[in-house]
Amino acid sequence: MNILLATSEAVPFAKTGGLADVCGALPLALAELGHHVSVVLPAYRQTRYCGQRIEPLGIDFIIPIGSKMVTGHLLRSTMPGGRVPVYLVEQDQYYDRDELYNVDGKDYVDNCERFVFFSRAVLEAIRLLDLPVDVLHVNDWQTGLVPAYLKIEYHNVPRYENIAALLTVHNLSYQGQFWHWDMLLTGLDWKYFNWHQMEFHGNLNLLKTGMVFSDSINTVSPRYAQEIQSSPLGCGLEGVLQHRHDVLSGILNGIDPQEWNPETDPHLTAHYNAATVDQGKPLCKKALQQELGLPQEPGAPLIGIVGRLIDQKGFDLVAEVMQRWVQTSDVQWAILGTGQPQYHQLLETLAQRFPQRVALRLGFSNPLAHQIEAGADLFLMPSRFEPCGLNQLYSLRYGTVPLVRATGGLADTITGFDAQSPNPAANGFVFYEPSALALGECLRQACDAYRRPEIWKKLIQVGMHQDWSWSRSAREYVALYQKTMERAKKPQPAG
Ligand code: ADP
């Protein structure tokens, strides 16, 4: 099968979150299964420092954006390992910037234009590179226009007419909504600007556009695929998703077993596996405490948090619980992330007042993320919603017990321990109500269990023996690609 994956992020070329992890790992797993897969993404400033060799192809192209014509260039690279080709769309006015989508918390004002250009470039690249494509796999709002162009403008063009389109929604709360005049930038007829297709409450909505014109839609966990078909997690698009429920499914993300392997992880002081975790993990904990300036107390439960410090991730609950716990318990907190200023301030205040208990690093650091995964005892993810979540899967592999709220992919991957009715499949702690009270109670249970080695060791072993690698998910994607190709042969739902 020939697959072209279009994305705005992929490790190691560009990353702001889990989308990049998925788009970096899935192509390798598909290639491993014998499929031909290529990746196309913009050439950002950070792409230049990705460590992969990038070469110009000498292919220039011109894209109409509203009334102007904009030139771009194609560059070529490969994913690590050299088996998967990566094509980079170079257009420095759009992509040679400090950040991918926003700066100082504000979206770039021309984001619609930047991704209209990229979406059109994806389709032009197929022709210019003479790429055979059976399935065009697009991701999130940034590539939501690709299926629309495919079904409208390339409808009867020979090399495109048999291409099937799959949209993966990684997070429904980012929809790429722009004012209606940006419809002019797309070059598509105003007749598509209606509430069945591209319009959403008077705005242009690129994610909705992708949902309407794709042959299949999937999201990154079965639970999230259910949750988004109703309010509030449908974020206003629940009606569209209900309408297309017959082509909507969920496939759990996997993890890159090379990148996240405590036996070989180059960022760690000590290496370990399920058999040697009792020896290796305490050394990683000690090193983490030292690195973060926390007291080296081997018996104090060390809680790790890595991620975007935003409402979605439940940081209001964390802050409330921490305020109580830092004064009354020996729990230590290791927090790495960036996000909303109010959480920066709240956590900074706590870290300054209680340096013996709270270590905070505001920023993005891949090595420290790995060290927290290895050094922490518990990993906290009290998300209000979580399409899949990757950190809980990394935690399981690193023998760090996840404590999560039962939502989306967290609910699909973590089975809660219950002291009253022990379940042999338990691999973490789960709470339900999105409240500080429920989180605090769950944390109390987890800390009790931590002090009972026979329970704790069992939880670690169950998690470390589970297989969350991409090879499992990649097989499910192959089956979905096949279904998508069959659907593409049937009359189109729209366009
Ligand atoms: P989301 O995509 O919503 O941000 P995920 O859990 O799916 O959340 O994926 C987040 C990914 O980004 C993980 O690989 C996580 O380790 C990484 N990450 C997030 N914030 C940071 C940070 N500040 N430093 C290093 N890695 C981070």
* pTM score: 0.92
Contact 209, 159 (CB under 8 A): no
- For residue 159 the two structure tokens come to 């090399």
Same topology, domains 2-254+471-489 and 277-467? Answer is: yes
Length of the chain: 495
Task: Write down the residue that tokens 């993890």 correspond to.
Answer: 255
Contact 478, 181 (CB under 8 A): no
* CB of 267 shorter than 6 A to ligand 1: no
pLDDT digits 0-9 by tens, 450-460: 999 999 999 99
- For residue 137 the two structure tokens come to 């796999």
Most informative mutation of 391, 393, 397 for ligand 1 (most atoms within 8 A of CB): 391
Architecture of the 2-254+471-489 domain: 3-Layer(aba) Sandwich (3.40)
> Does residue 495 register a pLDDT over 50?
no
pLDDT digits 0-9 by tens, 177-222: 999 999 999 999 999 999 999 999 999 999 999 999 999 999 999 9
Most informative mutation of 173, 265, 364 for ligand 1 (most atoms within 8 A of CB): 364
Ligand 1 atom at shortest distance from the alpha carbon of 390: 6
- For residue 293 the two structure tokens come to 């300036």
The residues facing 308 across adjacent strands are 338
Q: How far apart are CA 86 and CA 278, in angstroms?
A: 41
Tell me the Cα Rg of the chain: 23
Q: How far apart are CA 129 and CA 107, in angstroms?
A: 32
Homologous superfamily (CATH) for 277-467: Glycogen Phosphorylase B; (3.40.50.2000)
* CB of 402 shorter than 6 A to ligand 1: no
CB atoms under 10 Å from CB of 118, counted, come to 25
Q: How far apart are CA 14 and CA 4, in angstroms?
A: 18
Q: Calculate the CA 445 to chain-centre distance.
A: 29
pLDDT confidence of residue 348? 95
CB atoms under 10 Å from CB of 184, counted, come to 14
* CB of 366 shorter than 6 A to ligand 1: yes
First to last CA, the chain: 26
pLDDT confidence of residue 491? 65
What b/e string do you get for 160-176 counting C-beta neighbours within 10 Å, with b at 16 or more?
A: beebbbbbbbbbbbbbb
* CB of 381 shorter than 6 A to ligand 1: no
Ligand 1 atom at shortest distance from the alpha carbon of 15: 12
Q: How far apart are CA 196 and CA 208, in angstroms?
A: 9
- Classify residue 193 by burial, with Cβ atoms within 10 Å: 0-12, 13-18, 19+: middle
Give SS3 for 459.
helix
Stretch among 130-134, 208-212, 262-266, 308-312 having the lowest mean pLDDT: 308-312
Structural domain spans, the chain = 2-254+471-489, 277-467
pLDDT digits 0-9 by tens, 385-433: 999 999 999 999 999 999 999 999 999 999 999 988 889 999 999 999 9
Q: How far apart are CA 295 and CA 314, in angstroms?
A: 27
* CB of 411 shorter than 6 A to ligand 1: no
* CB of 173 shorter than 6 A to ligand 1: no
Q: How far apart are CA 333 and CA 87, in angstroms?
A: 41
